A and B are shown apart, each in its own frame.
Chain A
Amino acid sequence: MAEKIKKYLKIAFYTFLTFSLLTFIFGFLIFSNPLFMNLFANSLIKFNDIDSGTVNFQAYSKEEFASEFFNISLTPEDDFIKLFESHYGTENKKERIFMITYDIQDPNDKSRYTIYGINKYMNLVYKNTRQLDLSDPKHKRIKLHRSEDERHTGEKGFR
């Protein structure tokens, strides 16, 4: 019996390890390439019934981002992160192993924030603009977008 349980736990452990590794590789691909990131994020948003008013997501290569938002063509000598910080500042900057993220407030609309994620080692930048509910400053919640005629109550959830 003990032998059987041991064998069984071994199978469970190796299966867990295999699928975790697969997920890690999948995640690595997504967070290193704008094409995979856009495909993944768009399918996630589409299948979750979230509209562009709630989450406005887009991923770019560093060259694409620089030419679209800084109007310059990026050369291999350019430091993209320095360039980014000189344009947008370092508001809510968080630095992690692979990614640096910034959450920057829109100067014209105090409730609009944009997350910028930059992969430090790979050619990927993403941005996601969303509207925050600032009525409770302690817990800044993302406002789910609703059309004008939709009431903000539970019974209207299942339209």
Chain B
Amino acid sequence: MNFKKITFYLWIIIILGGMTTYLLFPEKLSFSFLEETAANYPVEAPIIYYLLFSFQRVVFMPSPLILVGTLIFNPIELFVVNMAGVMTSATIVYYFSRYLECDVYLETKYSKYTHKIKAKFMDKELPLIVGWSFFPMVPTNLIVYIVSSLRINVFKCLLGVFIGESIINAFYIITATMLIKGSLS
């Protein structure tokens, strides 16, 4: 078995592990410790938050961090850290999918379908990526896998993810802050 295959199986195991933990034992993923960390280490806390957030997204775990983030950081700080996490995870997933040669696999096995999808995607890539990223029920990085496998330009992919995620993130942060803290200031 070559190195790429081992990496691929390891990747699948990590993703399944992350999703199973979230579905079966959500209480194991309590991030209340971040509050204490933020009080004692104001510089390190956003970095820890960013790393956790990025990791969760790479392994398709729905992130339970927004409300905790609202309690700890100010809205602008939270938005910046969230978006940094979103873009980092999307970039990792995009290039990792390329490294695993998902595009080559799809092209050789299902070239008929990939060409059809690509033709349908033509000129609509950006709205589709934005729409998928915006919709909260589906993991954003799934579209990044698809886009990377269809060899769509990385810039288009990341711009789409940025637009969709920035709107929904801003919405979540504003509403959560209004509900929990009463005002944005």
Given the known inter-chain contacts A49-B26, A49-B29, A157-B34, please indicate yes or no for A19 contacting B183, CB distance below 8 A: no
B61 to chain A, nearest CB (A): 12
* Interchain CB contact under 8 A, A27 and B171: yes
Binds A, one of B62-70, B89-97, B110-118, B142-150: B62-70
Binds B, one of A63-71, A79-87, A146-154: A146-154
> Whole-angstrom distance between the alpha carbons of A41 and B172 in the complex?
10
A101 at the B interface (CB under 8 A)? yes
Given the known inter-chain contacts A15-B126, A40-B175, A92-B182, please indicate yes or no for A23 contacting B36, CB distance below 8 A: no
> Whole-angstrom distance between the alpha carbons of A19 and B168 in the complex?
9
Q: How many residues of A contact B (CB 8 A)?
A: 49
Collect the chain B residues with CB atoms within 8 Å of residue A154's CB.
33, 36-37
Given the known inter-chain contacts A49-B31, A101-B182, A159-B28, please indicate yes or no for A44 contacting B126, CB distance below 8 A: no
* Interchain CB contact under 8 A, B68 and A48: yes
Smallest CB-CB separation from A92: which chain B residue?
A: B182
A45 at the B interface (CB under 8 A)? yes
B2 at the A interface (CB under 8 A)? no
A102 to chain B, nearest CB (A): 8
* Interchain CB contact under 8 A, B175 and A27: yes
Binds A, one of B5-13, B78-86, B98-106, B159-167: B159-167
Smallest CB-CB separation from A7: which chain B residue?
A: B123
A138 to chain B, nearest CB (A): 12
Smallest CB-CB separation from A126: which chain B residue?
A: B179
Smallest CB-CB separation from B133: which chain A residue?
A: A19
Collect the chain B residues with CB atoms within 8 Å of residue A6's CB.
none
> Whole-angstrom distance between the alpha carbons of A152 and B127 in the complex?
45
* Interchain CB contact under 8 A, B131 and A146: no
A52-82: CB near B (< 8 Å → 1, else 0) gives 0011010000000000000000000000000
Given the known inter-chain contacts A44-B67, A144-B32, A152-B36, please indicate yes or no for A57 contacting B179, CB distance below 8 A: yes
